[in-house]
Structures are given as structure tokens and as C-alpha cells.
Amino acid sequence: MQLSREALQRAYRQMKVIREFEERLHTEIQTGEIAGFTHLYCGQEAVAVGVCEHLDIDDKIVSTHRGHGHCLAKGCELNGMMAEIWGSREGLCKGKGGSMHIADIDKGMLGANGIVGAGAPIAVGAALSAKIDNKGKVAIAFSGDGACNQGTTFEAMNFAVVTQAPCIFVFENNHYSEHTGVDYAVGTARDIASRAEAFGMKVWRADGTDFFAVHDTMREVLDFVRGGGGPAAVEFDTERFFGHFEGDPQRYRAKGEIERIRESRDCLKNFRISVTGAKLLTDADLDQIDQDVLDSIEAAVVAARAADRPTPEDVLSDVYIAY
């Protein structure tokens, strides 16, 4: 289905926001100003955006440790996220969660997660709630190729099948879990979808670096699940452009691998080539978006730096009692 000019611009903008958010963090982290562990989503933007462009605020998603892209795509506010990563009191989680725990429940974003594999069962619960409410809403569990090896993920898939929960398991296969290759760690290497299929789910597979492939696939998946077809799974083949975490020496990569994937598997570059080639948008249209995005990221960083810091008393709030 042909997307409108507005829809194309929006999708590009969303992907670009994620890209520049992460590129900027990559730079900022070098200075030591940002605390904690940060896992960047660069390279995988087409998945988050291709999935979330189909969702509305009442659909839920559950994310991972590599959560910034999912959060932004689901509508978490840019400044609130930046402030959270800066550990500010004005952050989405008041500086208590940080990069690995960004959540915005009102936006249907049920949390990034520091525990690999913890998300899938939570998504099943959200899907069961949607089933009770019976308004055609769904829940999405984002998982990596590493997370697909956790028992929790297996349990969640079977649970969703037997309860016919409207849950979609989105596996982002970026070929690595930390420093380990998918060929070693996943018995059905490069075919995570077949596992989901074995649990009794309908499955799809697509190129996760191609926005249009993701978006078209997700339309089918969502029609199926919203239509009461039960849970489903999708495996997207994708790439992570940075290290597992910031500071990762990445000695497990092939020589020239990063240059190669940045050259040929960049969802933003490929999007630009397709839409300008098909004369749907011009380079000038896209350049304008690029500039707007860079300005908004700059503004978010400036705001995060200036934002209120938490105070020691804040440690004791948001918990039922403090001893």
C-alpha cells in the first residue's frame, strides 16, 4: 500500500530522531557526563518505527536494554528521555531509571528492561488485558536474538498461544548478543521465527533494515492479530552499528564490517534512495527533516543539561515506605 507524503515524512523523521539521538549520545558519552550503561539502537531504527507507526496510544510495547528506539517510536517525549539519560529530576522517570529503564506507561510504553528476556511475559500480560477489553488492541514484545534463548521467552510464547493473547513477538536479530554470535548461541541460527512457529504461532520474516519491508509485514501481522487470529511472531534481520554498550572494543566483528553495514544496510540511506527514486519526496524535503531533527536533539541536550538535578530526599519517594 502506498504511504501518503505525510506518512513518509513522519516515518523518516521518526527514524532520523532515533539515529541522531543515538549518534549524539555516542558523542556525549565520551566525555563522561552521562552515567551508567547505555546501549545504542543505531542501525535498527526501521524496526522500531516500522512497527510502532501501526500502533496507537492504547497498544502496548515492552522493550529491552536497547530501548531508546522503541521509546521514541512509541511516542515518548524526546526531552523527557534525554533528561532521564542525563539523570535529571525532569526525566521521564525522575532520574531513577536511566537509559535501561525508560518507561512511559501513558504512552503505552511499558518499560525498557535491564533483564534480558524479562519483557516477553510482561507483554503477554498486557495482551491478555487487551483481550479482556476487546477493542482490538495488541501488545508487542521486542526481543533480541540473545533474549530468544531465555526460558521466559519460551514460556511467554506458549502462554500466548494457549490463551490466544493478542501478543506480537518481534525478534530483532542483529546477529550478536553482547560478544557472542547468533550462529553459536541460537540452535536454529538465523531462524528464530521457526521457534515461534513451533509453539503454534503464525510467523513472518523480513529485512529489518528496510523500512518498507518492516512496515508492510507489520500491516499483515497486525491485521491478523487485531482480527482475532491469536499471537504472532516476526523476525527482522537487522544490524547494530555501535558496540553492545558504549565502550565495547568490538573485537568480535569482521574487518570492515561496520563500514560495510553502514554503507549497504543503513535504513535511512536506503529509505532516501527509494523515496527520492520514486519521486515521492525530494532530497530537499528530507534535508529539511534532517535539520529539524538535529535542532530538536540539540535543544533536548541543552534542556537536559540545564534541568533540575534530583535531591537526596528523592531516593525515598515512589516506594511504599522508607526505613
Ligand X SMILES: Cc1ncc(C[n+]2csc(CCOP(=O)(O)OP(=O)(O)O)c2C)c(N)n1
In the complex, the residues that contact ligand X under the rule CB under 6 A are 64-66, 114-117, 144-147, 174, 176-178, 240, 244
User: Which of residues 58, 257, 263, 283 is near other proteins by CB under 8 A?
Assistant: 257
The piece of 4-12, 72-80, 211-219, 245-253 that touches other proteins (CB under 8 A) is 245-253
Judge contact between 175 and 181, C-beta under 8 A.
Answer: yes
CA 154 and chain centroid, separation: 20
Radius of gyration in angstroms for the set of CA atoms belonging to the chain, rounded to a whole number: 19
Q: What angle is formed at CA 219 by the lines to CA 217 and CA 224, rounded to 5 degrees?
A: 100
Picked from ligand X, other proteins, Mg ion, none, the partner binding residue 224 (CB below 5 to 8 A depending on kind) is none
Helices (H) and strands (E) in the chain, counts: 12, 7
The piece of 73-81, 156-164, 197-205, 246-254 that touches other proteins (CB under 8 A) is 246-254
Q: Residue 117 or residue 121: which is nearer to ligand X going by CB?
A: 117
Q: Residue 138 or residue 182: which is nearer to ligand X going by CB?
A: 182
CA distance 116 to 141: 12
User: Which of residues 67, 97, 166, 208 is near other proteins by CB under 8 A?
Assistant: 97
Q: Does 146 bind other proteins (CB under 8 A)?
A: yes
Q: Residue 101 or residue 272: which is nearer to other proteins going by CB?
A: 101
CA distance 268 to 210: 9
Q: Residue 132 or residue 319: which is nearer to other proteins going by CB?
A: 319
**Which of 205-221 are b and which e, b meaning 16 or more Cβ less than 10 Å from the residue's Cβ?**
bbbbbbbbbbbbbbeeb
Spell out the residues 6+ positions from residue 313 whose beta carbon is closer than 8 angstroms to its own. Answer: none
Site for other proteins in 65-94 (CB under 8 A): 87-89, 93
Site for other proteins in 16-35 (CB under 8 A): 35
Q: Does 101 bind other proteins (CB under 8 A)?
A: yes
CA distance 218 to 223: 8
As given in the structure block, the three cell numbers for residue 7 are: 506518512
Site for other proteins in 147-166 (CB under 8 A): 147, 149-152
Q: Residue 273 or residue 316: which is nearer to other proteins going by CB?
A: 316
